[in-house]
Amino acid sequence: MTFQGKTAVVTGAGGGMGLAITQGLLAEGAMVTAIDVKPCPAELLQEGGSFQFLAGDLTDDAFVADAMQRAFDQQGSLDCLVNAAGVLWFDRDVSMVEIDLDVWDKVLEIDLKTIVHTTRHAVPLMKKSQSGAMVHIASTQALRGDDKPQDAYQASKAAILSLSKSLAIQFAGDGIRSNCVVPGPCESPMQARWVGNPDSKKATAGVIPLGRVGQPQDIADAVLFLLSDKASYITGTDLIVDGGLTARP
Ligand SMILES: NC(=O)c1ccc[n+]([C@@H]2O[C@H](COP(=O)([O-])OP(=O)(O)OC[C@H]3O[C@@H](n4cnc5c(N)ncnc54)[C@H](O)[C@@H]3O)[C@@H](O)[C@H]2O)c1
């Protein structure tokens, strides 16, 4: 899966999955524009390869437009987009019946609308590049209900599954593919609740058929496959990476 000569944008690159995806793409020769609202992670600063880190807020459409153009200008193409930025506010994202409506709006703005920002600026540049591949990170939360609801997160992730298919159909004729990776629980800064609470992580691992929680590398491997030419006939699909969790009765 070589990405030699390819240009990629990865959002959420300061987090667990986005960082692993960025490192994977760099290792395979891509030029990466890595975006996060947080500063550049130290691990990335030590990386070889060609990358630029842009610190900014993806809810700012003008920032996103500029970031996409800067990615394109690296070598006159934009080949890959990974939408991995997101938030899960365990304490505040609750049932839609009880949620603070400002929290509802903010979660949908970050988890869903930022993908509208990135995609609407990426597609014209991918058309100029005469090909493109997008991977959006959804969640198994999109596939089922939860007795501890996180309804704003769940709604955002379900919408991503739907929009990815719409994008796949709209832009197949331009050689642009759109797919989702659908992770189950994965050890990253988003799951900070596991830090110092090994019993909670163990309990989660205990219900996963493969017997462990996911790692960012598990997700990065799936993302790189879907971005690569090995997946050139795959578009509009969702690849569940959850150790078998959703296959359980
Ligand atoms: N960790 C899990 O258990 C899990 C499970 C399923 C899906 N996911 C999804 O995977 C993706 C990656 O999550 P992760 O586990 O790496 O979490 P993470 O918290 O480590 O990374 C998410 C990153 O997104 C960034 N971000 C948030 N809002 C932003 C904004 N407005 N502008 C720019 N950057 C912003 C954060 O700063 C953070 O670095 C997310 O979309 C998440 O919903 C995570």
Q: Each residue's pLDDT tens digit in the chain (249 positions)?
A: 799 999 999 999 999 999 999 999 999 999 999 999 999 999 999 887 799 999 999 999 999 999 999 999 988 999 999 999 999 999 999 999 999 999 999 999 999 999 999 999 999 999 999 999 999 999 999 999 999 999 999 999 999 999 999 999 999 999 999 999 999 999 999 999 999 899 999 999 999 999 999 999 999 999 999 999 999 999 999 999 999 999 998
- Write the single-letter amino acid at 109: E
The reply to whether 247 falls in a domain is no
CATH code of the domain in which 32 resides: 3.40.50.720
- The model's pTM is 0.98
Q: Which domain holds residue 171?
A: 7-241
Please indicate whether residue 218, judged by its CB atom, sits closer than 6 Å to ligand 1. Answer: no
Cβ neighbours of residue 46 under 8 Å, at least 6 residues apart? none
State whether residue 133 is helix, strand or coil: strand
CA–centroid distance, 57 to ligand 1, in Å, is: 13
Q: Does residue 2 belong to any structural domain of this protein?
A: no
From CA 2, how far away is CA 204, in angstroms rounded?
35
Classify residue 186: in a domain, yes or no. Answer: yes
Identify the residue whose tokens are 């989660």: 204
Choosing from 113, 115, 190, 213 the residue with most ligand 1 atoms within 8 A of its CB, the one to mutate for a pocket test is 190
Quick count: other Cβ atoms within 10 Å of Cβ 193? 12
Using CA of residue 97, residue 95, residue 158, residue 145, what is the dihedral sign?
negative
Could you tell me if residue 249 is inside a domain? no
Q: 153 catalytic, yes or no?
A: yes
Options 153, 156, 216, 242, the catalytic residue: 153
Domain tally, the chain: 1
Atom of ligand 1 nearest to the CA of 190: 19
Answer yes or no: is 35 within a domain. yes
Cβ–Cβ under 8 Å, residues 54 and 35: yes
Q: Is residue 113 part of a domain?
A: yes
Point out the ligand 1 atom lying closest to the alpha carbon of residue 141. 6
- Cβ–ligand 1 distance for 41 under 6 Å, the answer no
With beta carbons less than 8 A apart as the criterion, state whether 238 and 179 touch.
Answer: yes
Do the domain assignments include residue 98?
yes
Whole-number Å distance between alpha carbons of 13 and 44: 9
Q: Considering the domain boundaries, does residue 1 fall inside one? A: no
Whole-angstrom distance, CA of residue 119 vs CA of residue 134: 9
Q: What CA–CA distances, in Å, run from 115 to 35, 53, 85?
A: 13, 18, 9
Q: Which amino acid is at 14?
A: G
Q: How many CB atoms lie within 10 A of CB 70?
A: 13
